[in-house]
Structure 1
Amino acid sequence: MAKQETPRTDQDSPWKRILQQYFQEAIEFFLPQVAKLVDWTQPPEFLDKEFIKIAPDAKVGRRFADQLVRVKLKRGKDLVLLLHVEVQAAPEKKFAERIFVYSLRIFDYFRQPAVSLAILCDASPTWRPQQYGFSLPGTTLNFEFSIVKLLDYRDRMAELDASWNPFAIVVKAHLKLQETKKDSLARKTVKMQLVRQLYEAGYNAEQVLNLFNFLDWILVLPKRLDTEFWTELKAYEQELQMPYITSVERIGFERGVKEEAQRSLERERAFILRLLNRKLSSIPDATVTQINALSVEHLEALGEALLDFESIEDLIAWLEN
């Protein structure tokens, strides 16, 4: 089993981007009853500046993916619906209270209520905050909001596989993130499977790139497996003759390959120098400089030849020849 690198902590960033890129599809996927009321011929208006005024703490930590969006409804030209979308990655004791406070601030700011949706990405099957309220003498409050628990889709994989909605891929990617937390090799396999599904679903180049950026961000691989993944991806795209991803990412990929090759060369050179120092004691600085200038092929040859060296003169003679 491959060792897993420390996961990224800023997973809200790809969520925010994908919500903005495919907001209509997100509402159709998670809130279909609301999506039917919206006039999607009018583009959604993302109210980032207004939301920061309403909830200044949303700028930090896992709350960075919060979205406040204004859309037009089919009935009434001036009727506006505010959709408050939350992406929550871990259980939070006062989460329902926070949703209520945000909703109250939204109403105070716009003088209009908001539909609140919480997308729960955590791994706890029992944490399902949907209500905040209290009952006092003469005063009672009961605030309820919608939630989507991504964990519930584990038993709906066939439905996700059959869906063309981009958020089917988003949900599958998040489920695979949880499944492969301790198995990087399995993560590489499922990441490639998801990329293949992007092509098999018939998405265009822009959609493939957008969704791949989400996959690549959350399904992080260690350096070695990441290099193997990119090699497989390049071969797959060449086979399809559709280099959507590798044509855009080629510069970064090739840079990564070169950097990994350089690191490998440096490790091999350091290893050979340690062997030489143990076998021949101290190596003159001038000789070390010569060794550092050797090509990969000559360095490999030196690794074999040093077994026969008995003195520093043998090493110097080998380098001269």
Structure 2
Amino acid sequence: MPSNDDYDTPWKDALTRYFPEFMAFYFPRAHAEIDWRQPHVFLDQELAQVVQDAQLGKRLVDCLVQIATRDGGEQWVYIHVEVQGQQDADFAERLFTYNYRLYDRYRRPVASLAVLADERENWKPTRFSYQLFGCEVGIRFPVVKLLDYANQTESLLEDPNPFALVTAAHLFTRRTKGDPEQRYAAKWRLAKLLYERNWDKQRIIDLFGVIDWLMRLPTELEQRLLQEVYTLERKVIMPYVTSAERFGIEKGRQEGRQEGEASLLKRQLARRFGTLPDTVQVRLTTATIDQLEEWAIRVLDAESLDAVFDQRPQ
């Protein structure tokens, strides 16, 4: 598993773009009860505000989705989804905390769902509760463990759901740890499957992004794989963006997003605290997207610039 906890992972991009498929693959019971004729809305900023002071774990995805149910009993309800990348002793308690805070905010039912992408075979939390003086409070939540699919690799590769391939990529990543040639072979196999299914350009790019992010290769093997993908794209005569070009596009998108978020935060800070020192402006320009988003949350309650950047006055 990648060691960073980048909240703008390709994992999250794929979930956001293909949320119905995500639910159908990992949580088919819930998928059957959702009215997909109605739009589903992602509320990530609202989630960040609700849980901004909660302890963060190694999450690959953390999102809140507003959906409609088929039975009409509740026109709008909320699904809180976490994809957890590492074992976390406080995971179940955190889901409990998020759930009751979200319910307190919206006064609507909230379903907490978890996908565990860690490497601990025996770690599978499903509940958190406590009792005191006859009062019992708690939560039980559905959990999907990617390792549970370990003996179903071939079935995953035949499944038309895109998240079957995402799951296979996770399993291949674990299985080929320390063996770059085997990882290359597995990654190339997954890449070919993307094209064999005649999916549209965006879906191929999105899913290849997840596979590429998971299954990192040494530079030499990565270049070999990119050449293979480029050759494949020409053979199938599809107007897809080549992998090398895609990397440049994605980099440009990230840079553009960083500039946009830095500009917005700069205006927010100036409105609250007046003219910004040059050191602050430089810091905004060079910050990562994660840092900018964290500071944007802090600015809501901060009483000074130092508090936003978690610095003590000199």
Q: How far did 1:49 drift?
A: 1.5
Amino acid paired to 2:122: T
Correspondence for 1:65 among 61, 64, 70: 61
Distance 1:205 1:102, change over 3 A: same
Partner secondary structure for residue 244 of structure 1: coil
Partner secondary structure for residue 58 of structure 2: helix
* Pair 1:15 & 2:11 matched: yes
Residue aligning to 1:83: 79
* Pair 1:108 & 2:100 matched: no
Correspondence for 2:245 among 242, 249, 270: 249
- Asked if 2 retains the 8 angstrom alpha-carbon contact of 1:52 and 1:59, the reply is no
Distance 1:252 1:63, change over 3 A: closer
Rounded Cα–Cα distance in structure 2 between residues aligned with 1:184 and 1:111: 50
1:90-105 matches, within 5 Å, as: 90-105=86-101
Distance 1:57 1:151, change over 3 A: farther
* Pair 1:227 & 2:195 matched: no
Distance 1:39 1:26, change over 3 A: same
Partner secondary structure for residue 177 of structure 1: helix
Distance 1:180 1:113, change over 3 A: same
- Any stretches of 5+ residues in structure 2 without a counterpart? 250-314
Rounded Cα–Cα distance in structure 1 between residues aligned with 2:246 and 2:74: 47
Output one character per residue of 1:112-142: Cα deviation in whole Å (capped at 9) or x when no partner: 2211111000011100000111222221234
* Pair 1:38 & 2:34 matched: yes
Rounded Cα–Cα distance in structure 2 between residues aligned with 1:93 and 1:126: 13
Correspondence for 2:201 among 191, 201, 205: 205
Amino acid paired to 2:4: T
Residue aligning to 2:304: none
* Pair 1:144 & 2:140 matched: yes
Partner secondary structure for residue 56 of structure 1: coil
Residue aligning to 1:24: 20
- Asked if 1 retains the 8 angstrom alpha-carbon contact of 2:226 and 2:244, the reply is no
Amino acid paired to 2:226: W
Partner secondary structure for residue 235 of structure 1: helix
Residue aligning to 2:125: 129
1:144-223 matches, within 5 Å, as: 144-223=140-219
Rounded Cα–Cα distance in structure 1 between residues aligned with 2:91 and 2:166: 23
Output one character per residue of 1:44-98: Cα deviation in whole Å (capped at 9) or x when no partner: 1001121011111579663362010001122328611211100101111111111
Partner secondary structure for residue 36 of structure 1: helix
- Asked if 1 retains the 8 angstrom alpha-carbon contact of 2:68 and 2:77, the reply is yes
Q: How many equivalent residue pairs?
A: 248
Correspondence for 2:115 among 119, 122, 126: 119
- Asked if 2 retains the 8 angstrom alpha-carbon contact of 1:208 and 1:245, the reply is no
- Asked if 2 retains the 8 angstrom alpha-carbon contact of 1:66 and 1:84, the reply is yes
Partner secondary structure for residue 25 of structure 1: helix
**Higher relative helix content:** 1
- Asked if 2 retains the 8 angstrom alpha-carbon contact of 1:11 and 1:217, the reply is no
- Asked if 1 retains the 8 angstrom alpha-carbon contact of 2:83 and 2:115, the reply is yes
- Any stretches of 5+ residues in structure 1 without a counterpart? 1-5, 254-321
- Asked if 2 retains the 8 angstrom alpha-carbon contact of 1:191 and 1:219, the reply is yes
Partner secondary structure for residue 139 of structure 2: strand
Q: How far did 1:239 drift?
A: 2.1
Partner secondary structure for residue 118 of structure 2: coil
State, as a whole percentage, how many aligned pairs show the same letter: 38
Q: How far did 1:202 drift?
A: 2.6
Residue aligning to 2:264: none
- Asked if 2 retains the 8 angstrom alpha-carbon contact of 1:16 and 1:64, the reply is yes
TM-score by length of 2: 0.73
Rounded Cα–Cα distance in structure 1 between residues aligned with 2:231 and 2:55: 40
Residue aligning to 1:266: none
Q: How far did 1:240 drift?
A: 2.0
Deviates more, 1:75-84 or 1:169-178: 75-84
Output one character per residue of 1:14-37: Cα deviation in whole Å (capped at 9) or x when no partner: 221111011111111111111111
Rounded Cα–Cα distance in structure 2 between residues aligned with 1:43 and 1:74: 13
Q: How far did 1:250 drift?
A: 6.8
Rounded Cα–Cα distance in structure 2 between residues aligned with 1:19 and 1:214: 10
Q: How far did 1:173 drift?
A: 0.8
- Asked if 2 retains the 8 angstrom alpha-carbon contact of 1:8 and 1:218, the reply is no
